[in-house]
Amino acid sequence: MCLPTSYGGAQTQRSLEHFRISTEKMPAELIYALALTKRAAAKVNNDLGLLAAEKAQAIIQAADEVLAGKHPDEFPLAIWQTGSGTQSNMNMNEVLANRASELLGGARGMERKIHPNDDVNKSQSSNDVFPTAMHVAAMIALREKMIPQLNVLKQTLNNKAVAFSDIVKIGRTHLQDATPLTLGQEISGWVAMLEHNLKHLDHSLPHLAELALGGTAVGTGLNTHPEYAVRVAAELAALSGQPFVTAPNKFEALATVDALVHAHGALKGLAASLMKIANDVRWLASGPRCGIGEIAIPENEPGSSIMPGKVNPTQCEALTMLCCQVMGNDVAVNIGGASGNFELNVYRPMVIHNFLQSVRLLADGMASFNEHCAEGIEPNRERISQLLNESLMLVTALNTHIGYDKAAEIAKKAHKEGLTLKASALALGYLTEAEFDRWVRPEEMVGSMSTR
């Protein structure tokens, strides 16, 4: 069977009929990875003398068309299908078989010159093809899309940390005034968070680089050449530019999605860090007159349909929302990962859907936040100075000179009577004006800690 206007066949049509569930389709990144996997398999099968050169070349050419973005409508299947991704593997087999047959001068359908199972799927099972494509898609998305954006944002914030290293401001703990630090030191904490996130992501990549292909149905490698697994992983590495290797234990590679669970945990960690950073930015920019207002962020668009002149921290809000989604995705990925049975995990389409959505959200979110917010952060020096000078926590500098109890008494009196710290200290007679000026110097309270 071949649909008259489609390269798909009977298996594709059955899936469309049996899984009319919601609107989520198999991600484009996964379709690309499936086509790449089929291309690599055809090449290696030919090299090993298992597939005729003419057939292999036709399959490769058909796969290259898919990789170039052609035939996008030929992959319409829902995420919510068999948990092994079998329908999508067969969809790809049918599309490539029918297109390859055309390239050889043949017809589509039952009279085609390329068989979807015997030729396109040679030496393969959905059970090793789909997990391989998942790892290929995840690795490419992380290394080519998300990690570069993370590095860009980290560099932007590092530039701000250096630029603002001389601006002393009041610190805050428990949402209460604390001892001073520089604005550069505060932002350097954000930079260090992102550096750790990069390390966590890097740590997850070696497991993602392990490919299941060659394990076939249950991990034993039934119906494959002894050299096939190693060769096809090397071919995928060459085609993608990624450091793929054959999985040392195919039983683990088929039975689990542990590599994706681990990697998505790093994505969740990044989401947690980005949410903290975005929340700090919007708090520090709150106002303009009745908030903290220590920094200014770009005024990108009107913030209210009723309040004229209102500007909202929209980039921070978008970033925090998508971070919530990533954290929710992580729960689904974890449950899917924990729910495999015996030789096969059957939650794969859902897992890769959530994984790739998280990568897209984080990559696009960081790019938007960087361009439309982080790059435009500027200090409000006047407001920073005002709040610093009004803070009672500067009294902490007196602890080592007059003791905690007397310093606390100075702060309490100043707060109760609306006095400055100096006026309160002098009224209590605990030190002279010269001593106060010598000991309470905010710029000397920030330590020698570098912003890096």
Q: Per-residue pLDDT tens for 330-368?
A: 999 999 999 999 999 999 999 999 999 999 999 999 999
Provide mean pLDDT across the span 54-67.
Answer: 99
* Co-location of 338 and 190 in the same domain: yes
Q: Please indicate, yes or no, if residue 334 is contained in any of the structural domains.
A: yes
Query: Cα(first)–Cα(last) distance of the chain, in Å?
Result: 64
Do 342 and 409 lie in one domain? The reply is no
94-98, 105-109, 203-207, range with the lowest pLDDT:
105-109
CATH number at residue 357: 1.20.200.10
Q: Are residues 284 and 138 in the same domain?
A: yes
Euclidean distance between CA atoms 376 and 182, whole angstroms:
19
In degrees and rounded to multiples of 5, residue 309 shows phi and psi of 80, 0
User: Binding residue per annotation — 118?
Assistant: yes
Residue 5, domain member (yes or no)? no
Confidence (pLDDT) at 113 = 96
113 marked as binding residue: no
Q: Is 123 noted as a catalytic residue in this protein? A: no
**Domain end marker among 122, 149, 182:** 122
Task: For residues 263 and 350, state if they share a domain.
Answer: yes
Q: What is the pLDDT of residue 300?
A: 84
Whether residue 138 is found in the same domain as residue 278: yes
450 located within any domain: no
Task: Based on the fold, state whether residues 59 and 166 are members of the same structural domain.
Answer: no
pLDDT for residue 4: 46
* Residues 416, 335 share a domain: no
Which of the residues 18, 304, 415, 450 is marked catalytic? 304
Q: Quick one: 62 and 145 in the same domain?
A: no
Q: What is the pLDDT of residue 106?
A: 93
Angstrom CA distances, 10 to 3, 34, 129, 385, stand at 8, 19, 20, 72
Q: Is residue 85 part of a domain?
A: yes
Tell me the per-residue pLDDT of 4-27, one tens digit each, with 9 for 90 and over. 458 999 999 999 999 999 999 999
Single out the residue in 122, 151, 186 at which a domain terminates. 122
CB 272 within 8 A of CB 286: no
Domain carrying residue 86: 10-122
Pick the range with the lowest mean pLDDT from 35-39, 176-180, 297-301, 432-436. 297-301
The reply to whether 304 belongs to the active site is yes
Question: Is 85 annotated as belonging to a binding site?
Answer: yes
Is the same domain home to 111 and 188? no
Query: DSSP label at 344?
Result: B
211 φ/ψ sector (left φ>0, alpha ψ -120 to 50, else beta):
beta
Residue 3 lies in a domain: no
Domain count, the chain: 3
Among residues 259, 128, 152, which one has the least CA distance to residue 205? 259
The annotation status of 115 as a binding-site residue, yes or no, is yes
Confidence of residue 311 (pLDDT cuts 50, 70, 90): confident
pLDDT at 306: 72
In CATH, what number is assigned to the domain containing residue 41? 1.10.275.10
Exactly one of 174, 188, 207, 264 is catalytic; which is it?
A: 174
Q: Is 349 annotated as a binding residue?
A: no
Please return the burial class of 371, using the count of CB atoms within 10 Å of its CB with bins 0-12, 13-18 and 19+: middle
Q: What predicted TM-score, i.e. pTM, was given to this entire model?
A: 0.95
Task: Look at residues 95, 110, 104 and name the one whose alpha carbon lies nearest to residue 58.
Answer: 104
CA torsion sign, 286 to 291 to 295 to 298?
positive
Residues 41 and 117: beta-carbon distance below 8 Å? no
Ramachandran quadrant class, 170 (left: phi over 0; alpha: psi -120 to 50; beta: rest): beta
Exposure string over 141-154, b if 16+ CB within 10 A, otherwise e: bbbebbbebbebbb
Residue 386 lies in a domain: no
Domain membership of residue 437 (yes or no) is yes
Q: What percent of the chain has pLDDT over 90?
A: 92
- Token pair belonging to 24: 């989520």
263 and 291 together in one domain? yes
Question: Is residue 156 located within the same domain as residue 225?
Answer: yes
One domain, residues 323 and 414: no
Q: DSSP strand E in 271-354: where?
A: 295-296
Q: Helices 421-428 and 404-417 meet at what angle, rounded to 10? A: 120
Mean pLDDT of the chain: 96
